[in-house]
Structure 1
């Protein structure tokens, strides 16, 4: 989704008119952004800006996040003038901005300009329980796929009269089914100590 410069400007106007920023210097920084159209073309509004190589977090009163943070290549500062200086010197570099305010997740005005943050780690939204569920599902899928493959190969060997391979695969299937039965018995809630 491409967000137009006019939509970005409208969002910043909306934010400044609707919310009181925690740090006054941020007002000047946002007004500068709205005036510098070339720079505004390189701005992307995202969540979790701390993962971007160059990003700014600006919070309004009532938000739980800090008033201001500027991130650049794993360095972090709370000084607005450093971000302002960097913006002026690097007008052609992408700049990621996160606005934090009460009700941010429900704001249609803000969501109109939001883009996906390409720097968020792949597993960022997964907790340990999600990872375990995914692993279990993958293991089950692989297991079922292996059994299906073995049965097809056994049928093929019978069709072709390959008794030697038939016996090898039949042993593998028997071994697999025995292991699978033990795994199911061990994981049954009544068998846990």
Structure 2
């Protein structure tokens, strides 16, 4: 995996990153702040651009990138809510977590390159299996989003029928975010 990055370097980078960038999912900042509070956990955090064949991964994006706002993957399950990732990390601090950050000019950023593990400049050999795996992941992500949109639509109707304005606003916010993600991926 390459040379180990020190906990103090990770802390310094995370603090710098949070001060310079706005995350698409604002809850990501409290996830990072939680990581900062636990050095044992930070030892298990790895910043990398190679998330393939990893048990626990995260994609975290800033508003200046086109990437998915937030994605947490554990084994074969994929989640888009930060809270699920937070609880998993809190309950399983002994597990390594591999994080890929997406922000403007990230591979030109010396602060990011200082904590990046692996070989970001080495172009990986892409096999047909890699392409098929990526295609399958894209199809699965789309199916999951489509199903979630259907569920949200029903829950929005129910909140309207019950006159629950706060629930309606919460659900429509999530629905709009998922629809926006679909439009970004289609364009």
TM range (shorter): 0.5 to 0.7
TM-score, normalising length: structure 2: 0.62
Partner of 2:85: 83
Q: RCO (CA 8 Å, sep 6+): is it higher in 1 or 2?
A: 2
* Per-residue Cα deviation, 1:65-90 (whole angstroms, up to 9, x for no partner): 11100010021100111000000111
* Per-residue Cα deviation, 1:133-192 (whole angstroms, up to 9, x for no partner): xxxxxxxxxxxxxxxxxxxxxxxxxxxxxxxxxxxxxxxxxxxxxxxxxxxxxxxxxxxx
CA distance in 1, matches of 2:50, 2:79: 16
1:34 aligns with 2:36: yes
1:57 aligns with 2:59: yes
> What residue ranges of structure 2 are gaps of 5+ in the alignment?
129-187
8 Å Cα contact 1:49-1:57 kept in structure 2: no
1:125 aligns with 2:114: no
8 Å Cα contact 1:26-1:58 kept in structure 2: yes
Summarize the Cα distance change of 1:18–1:75 in structure 2 as closer, same or farther, 3 Å threshold: same
Partner of 1:72: 74
8 Å Cα contact 1:65-1:100 kept in structure 2: yes
Partner of 2:16: 14
2:115 alignment partner, SS class? coil
- How do 1:130-141 residues align onto structure 2 when only pairs under 5 Å count? none
Partner of 1:105: 107
CA distance in 2, matches of 1:19, 1:113: 17
2:40 alignment partner, SS class? helix
TM-score, normalising length: structure 1: 0.60
CA distance in 2, matches of 1:33, 1:44: 12
Task: After the TM superposition, list the runs of 4 or more consecutive aligned residues in structure 1 that deviate by more than 4 angstroms.
Answer: none
Q: Per-residue deviation at 1:41?
A: 0.7
1:15 alignment partner, SS class? helix
CA distance in 1, matches of 2:125, 2:27: 33
Q: What is the number of residues matched between the two proteins?
A: 123
Partner of 1:43: 45
Summarize the Cα distance change of 1:41–1:16 in structure 2 as closer, same or farther, 3 Å threshold: same
Larger Rg: 1
Partner of 1:25: 27
CA distance in 2, matches of 1:106, 1:114: 12
Q: Per-residue deviation at 1:48?
A: 3.6
Q: RMSD of the alignment, in Å?
A: 1.9
